[in-house]
Amino acid sequence: MSLTRYYTATSLDGFIADDGHSLDWLFTRQQDRAGPLNYADFLGAVGAVAMGSTTYEWILDHGSGWPYEIPCWVFTHRALRVVPDAAVTFTSGDVAAVHAEVAAAAGGRDVWIVGGGDLAGQFADAGLLDEVIVYVAPVTLGAGAPLLPRRVELRLEETARNSDFVTARYLPGGALDPAYGTGGVVAVHVAPGDAVEPGTVLIEVESEKATFEVEAGHAGTVRELLVAEGDEAKVGDVVARIEPA
């Protein structure tokens, strides 16, 4: 199943760039390129990327060339430089409408929200953000571009040390509890368009250990159900996308 994932690095106080848009604080850190939640393994599963205009311009200004061979969507409300022969689409559309196009272009692979934090937050607001992966650097910046400039409820799924960084992977509400492994969906209690509150039962799953309920993690409206009765669901699967109230 294709996932929409926000993968980035952040300072300890929650900024992905300083107030001068510099990443000097990041590139001086040591990391194991084959270690936990490493970039190469992540990128290998990605079929399309999306980013905001500031991220796009930073890549053009600081890179040695356009780094992606896969399709890219840039969300912008102004004219930007064009990279010759790059598969870049500029859009000012709503993330919910554009997401379907991006996911289709990914061809069953993952969609990477490169940045910035506001764009990732818009995907979260639309119930379309399936996973957040962060590398936390041992530095505070005091100001800058925030990791996520809004409230987003997440659940810690995985954490590890990678050299200078603490790495962490988070899932949103509506994801399977890791304690129960794999099971079959035996009941679905909501439908797209239904309003839910924290604790509303979305589905029931029967595993070897128990029959358990998967609940909504926040209030909102069910935008999409990703499982049906009789499906198999495993740890890490997102079972519903819920647009926050």
pLDDT, residue 180, reads: 58
pLDDT of residue 165: 98
- What pLDDT digit, counting tens, does each position of 174-223 carry? 566 555 567 888 899 999 999 998 889 999 888 876 787 888 877 889 98
Q: Read off the pLDDT of each residue in 90-110 and give the average, rounded to a whole number.
A: 95
Q: What percent of the chain has pLDDT over 90?
A: 69
The residues, ordered by sequence, that sit 6+ positions from 129 with a Cβ below 8 Å of its Cβ are 4, 5, 6, 113, 120, 123, 152, 172
Stretch 113-126: mean pLDDT: 94
* Paired residues of 89 in beta bridges: 73
Mean pLDDT over residues 81-95, rounded?
95
Sheet order of strands, 201-207 included: 211-215, 201-207, 183-188, 232-233
What is the pLDDT averaged over residues 68-91? 96
- Provide the mean pLDDT of the chain: 91
Q: Which amino acid is at 211?
A: T
By mean pLDDT, which of 49-63, 76-90, 187-201 is the weakest?
Answer: 187-201
Average pLDDT of span 39-65? 95
How many whole angstroms separate alpha carbon 184 and alpha carbon 108?
A: 23
Would you say residue 92 has pLDDT above 70? yes
Which pLDDT belongs to residue 245? 67
Q: Which pLDDT tens digit goes with each residue over 136-161?
A: 999 999 999 999 999 888 888 899 99
Cβ within 8 Å of residue 140, ≥6 positions away: 11, 12, 13
Averaged pLDDT, 108-117: 96
In degrees to the nearest 10, what's the CA dihedral of 79, 83, 84, 89? -70
pLDDT tens column, 26-37: 999 999 999 999
- Is pLDDT above 80 for 173? no
Structural domains of the chain ordered from first start: 4-172 (3.40.430.10), 178-244 (2.40.50.100)
Q: How far apart are CA 57 and CA 99, in angstroms?
A: 21
pLDDT at site 63: 85
What pLDDT score does 160 carry? Answer: 97
**Residues near 228 by Cβ (< 8 Å), separated by ≥ 6?**
185, 188
What's the mean pLDDT in 61-86? 95
Q: Is the pLDDT of residue 124 over 80?
A: yes
pLDDT confidence of residue 236: 61
Q: Binning pLDDT at 50, 70 and 90, where does residue 226 land?
A: confident
Percent of the chain with pLDDT over 70: 94
